Structure 1
Amino acid sequence: MQRRSDPVFAGTGLANCQFLAAGIEACQAAGKVVTISLGGGAGAGAVFTSDAEAVTFAGTIWDLFLGGSSSTRPFGAAVLDGVDLDIEGGSPTGFASFVTEIRSLSAGASKPYYITAAPQCPYPDAYIGSAINAVGFDAVFVQFYNNYCGVSAYSDPNDWDFSTWDNWAKTVSPNPNVKVFIGAPAAEAAANSGSYVDAATLGAIAIATRAEYSSFGGIMLWDASQAYANDRYDMQIKNLITTAGGGTTTSTKTSTTSTKTTTTTTSTKTTTTTTKTTSTTSSSTVKTTSTTSTITSGSCAGVSAWVSTVAYVGGSEVTYNSDLWQSNQWSDDEVPGGVAGAWVNLGACSSLAAGTAKGVGVPATAATLTATVHATAAVSTAVKTVKASAVVAAETAHATFAVSAVESVKASPATAVETGEIKRGNSRAFKL
């Protein structure tokens, strides 16, 4: 590992930020998902001249940041959890092929990998629109600012177009369970004049949108530094949304598979609420500490009993009715052995005793995709900015991604290093 004063790998222009590995892994251990974001608002972002070039670049990203291998991994042994495409310039060429290749490379991996995007609110998006229509994305962080259709235009149904994105999610997206986040500026200085709304207004928008549209995923804020400086704008929004909880939910699940020739999508949870005045989501659940029973001998040693108020990621193990179960997808309210098929029975256990959970289980208020840390595609040399992306998210517990997550915060643009095919980018920390 190189010193922070020597931030590139010898003989290359590729930034060496391996000192961030521990912070990234701490976020992941806390149930957070850490992804890398490509593109950004400055310049043309990531640009491909052909599908073949995009496929090659996907392999580079896989080897440097995801489940592949390389002697020059910027974050060392830390394995990020997916890719975000924040494409705000250039050309739409190649991005569908890029996503398809990432899905193919991650097929059969020991953990899920997520694909997200940050389109502008005018529909369809000029740069990433064709890709999100062609291949399955897990979430879109729509930038409802710097445009006529932003949050400041919420009261005008001719401009505010979340309904259009909801319709896209349900009728156009290859993944019908994709979640749509409202992206908003975290302070007046974070966006163009007139784009910002105060916390009370944005909270009301989120609550109403959550109640009306089942595709609603939560709030994404640009950016972390602005939110912190603006009297913790992020926490204000979170508190407003979680306080407004209640009602009932219905949900569906889909499984994820992918092959070299077929791209399918990672499933997320679809939540439906019944009224505009009451909203429902596991994100409104107050965190509690539960006493659980744990197997101390046999095949179930060290495994906690299933708890209905805990959200489990794929691969988590629990005990239920004296059997050992393993989740095969994101799960928070699916009973082991239930019709949803979210759990696989691994066999009978022998004895029970008090203890702690084995595998990854987090409260329903901080479920699977709850804190996505987006590190710059070029791996920023602005250590302060990138570190904020990795560390800030680890310090706060937030709401579920799949069911009405309540806040996401983007860290400020970083000075990127040109590294061949890796383009200029930004870093965004999503705190949900």
Structure 2
Amino acid sequence: MFPSLLLAALLGLRLSLAAPVNDSNIDAAPLARHILKRSIPAAPRYVVYSDAFISSTNPAPPTSSIAGWTVFNIAFLTNFAADNYGVWVSMTDAQRTAVKAQYAAAGIKLCVAAFGSTEEPTNAGLNPVTLADSVASAVIQYQLDGVDIDYEDFDAFNRKDGSAEAWLISFTTELRKKLPVGQYIVTHAPVAPWFISELYNGRGYTYVDQQVGNLIDWYNVQFYNQGATEYTTCDGLLTESSSTWPGSSVFQIAARGVPLDKIVIGKPAAANNANNGLMTTSLLASCASQAVSKGWNAGIMSWQYPDASSAWIKAVQVGMSGAAPGPTTTVGSTTVVTTTTSTAITSPTAGSCANMATWDSSTIYTAGVFVVYQGFLWKANQWNDDEVPGGPSGAWDKVFSC
């Protein structure tokens, strides 16, 4: 059993906040740095994890190879800096700053995934407050946009005594003291059955959401590894889960009080990424389309890159056409459009400009956002502020005539 102080020592971190990141060398305008650091991706979100080996010098792939994703979670922050996260920690500040600038320009957030299937922090008796301080310090010190809590302490949950829920509530509460809402991303990645409160004496993740859901940006729900036939059809995934895990489909979780726009659908990208729960991209796109028609817009998560490639998510995003964009983020008097696209266009020749926002000189846009300007649909290819579509900056690509 690791005492929390030893955990912090293994992480090589102070238990107090690390010094703020020096971003003076980032190749972006000061306002861009200010806004992009604080904006949280609005729904729909597209989240991909990376634990498979990428490089011994840089665990963040070129943004061109993950185009379409909006959040890239480097795994894992465990009782030491493991796997790809260990590589990230080994980089110099200058190297991390350069990578972060590239990701910010592409509209992609870079976060760390904490814990994973090998860690049982509650069962190990780790202090949630002390550990949260250490995790927050790591996020700040190593220039990350936030943290995903991939808590998989099944022994603690299966005791059904409330210890897992109490630990998560304390951990999340303390984490947000150091990583404020609106400035850093904090997500959780529970397995879908944990939302079945009646299996956990009225608690489970539904109770966690009731207590600290306002501190959690969204849930990357794992709809996989729960049985060979679980969550493998659109009905089972969206509206009526099986009798094995009753009441744990997307809309059934929402009926328990969890905000629908926070329930991101998580799926493995390939058969070797999970024991079960795989869907083809075409089937998942079809399910997403059905969910969108019912008012869902939270987004898609996948384990893991490189199988969850740019092509993979773009194939799934076909089903997200018409998904209502989440709210924009406002910092001071500046509005930031934080969605990847305001509407997903599956085929430019058959596309429509209906419901698309008109370009506004007072709005800051991130890469991937669509606007209408002078009778044409345009797509931002980079972060830009007051850059006219078709202007000399080249910040916008013309898609088609409206």
TM-score (norm 1): 0.48
Q: Show the 5 A alignment for 1:314-333.
A: 319-320=361-362
Q: Specify the alignment match of 1:342 in structure 2.
A: none
Q: Specify the alignment match of 1:225 in structure 2.
A: 306
TM-fit CA distance, 1:142 = 0.9
Question: C-alpha root-mean-square deviation of aligned residues, in Å?
Answer: 4.7
Aligned 8 A contact 2:114 2:147 in 1: yes
Query: Size of the alignment, in residue pairs?
Result: 260
The separation in 2 between residues aligned to 1:104 and 1:188, in whole angstroms, is: 39
Give the counterpart letter for 1:131 in structure 2: V
The separation in 1 between residues aligned to 2:132 and 2:337, in whole angstroms, is: 23
SS at match of 2:193: coil
Return the structure number with greater helix share. 2
Q: Show the 5 A alignment for 1:99-248.
A: 99-107=172-180, 112-124=183-195, 128-135=205-212, 136=214, 137-148=216-227, 150-156=230-236, 157-159=240-242, 161-168=249-256, 171=257, 173=258, 176=259, 178-193=261-276, 195-214=277-296, 216-227=297-308, 235-242=311-318, 245-246=321-322
Aligned 8 A contact 1:48 1:94 in 2: no
Give the counterpart letter for 1:84 in structure 2: D
Q: Cα distance 1:253–1:177, how it changes in 2: closer, same or farther (>3 A)? A: farther
Q: Specify the alignment match of 2:353 in structure 1.
A: none
Using CA pairs under 8 Å that are at least 6 residues apart, name the structure with larger relative contact order, 1 or 2. 1
The separation in 2 between residues aligned to 1:88 and 1:243, in whole angstroms, is: 30
TM-fit CA distance, 1:281 = 5.5
Match 1:18 to one of 64, 68, 91: 91
Aligned 8 A contact 2:282 2:316 in 1: yes
The separation in 1 between residues aligned to 2:185 and 2:307, in whole angstroms, is: 26
Q: Cα distance 1:213–1:123, how it changes in 2: closer, same or farther (>3 A)? A: farther
Aligned 8 A contact 2:292 2:320 in 1: no
Give the counterpart letter for 1:222 in structure 2: W
Q: Specify the alignment match of 2:128 in structure 1.
A: 54
The separation in 2 between residues aligned to 1:251 and 1:24, in whole angstroms, is: 24
Q: Cα distance 1:333–1:237, how it changes in 2: closer, same or farther (>3 A)? A: closer
Aligned 8 A contact 1:46 1:87 in 2: no
Q: Cα distance 1:94–1:153, how it changes in 2: closer, same or farther (>3 A)? A: same
Q: Specify the alignment match of 1:87 in structure 2.
A: 151
SS at match of 1:192: coil
Q: Cα distance 1:98–1:284, how it changes in 2: closer, same or farther (>3 A)? A: farther
The separation in 2 between residues aligned to 1:224 and 1:238, in whole angstroms, is: 14
The separation in 2 between residues aligned to 1:268 and 1:139, in whole angstroms, is: 18
What is the percent sequence identity of the aligned residues? 22
The separation in 2 between residues aligned to 1:121 and 1:206, in whole angstroms, is: 17
The separation in 1 between residues aligned to 2:298 and 2:321, in whole angstroms, is: 15
Does residue 96 (structure 1) correspond to residue 176 (structure 2)? The answer is: no
Deviations 1:173-195 (A, max 9, x none): 4xx474211111211222224x2
Aligned 8 A contact 2:189 2:220 in 1: yes
Aligned 8 A contact 2:218 2:263 in 1: yes
TM-score (norm 2): 0.51
SS at match of 1:119: coil
Give the counterpart letter for 1:218 in structure 2: G
Q: Specify the alignment match of 1:297 in structure 2.
A: none
TM-fit CA distance, 1:134 = 1.4
Deviations 1:239-267 (A, max 9, x none): 35337724x848657989xxxxxxxxxx9
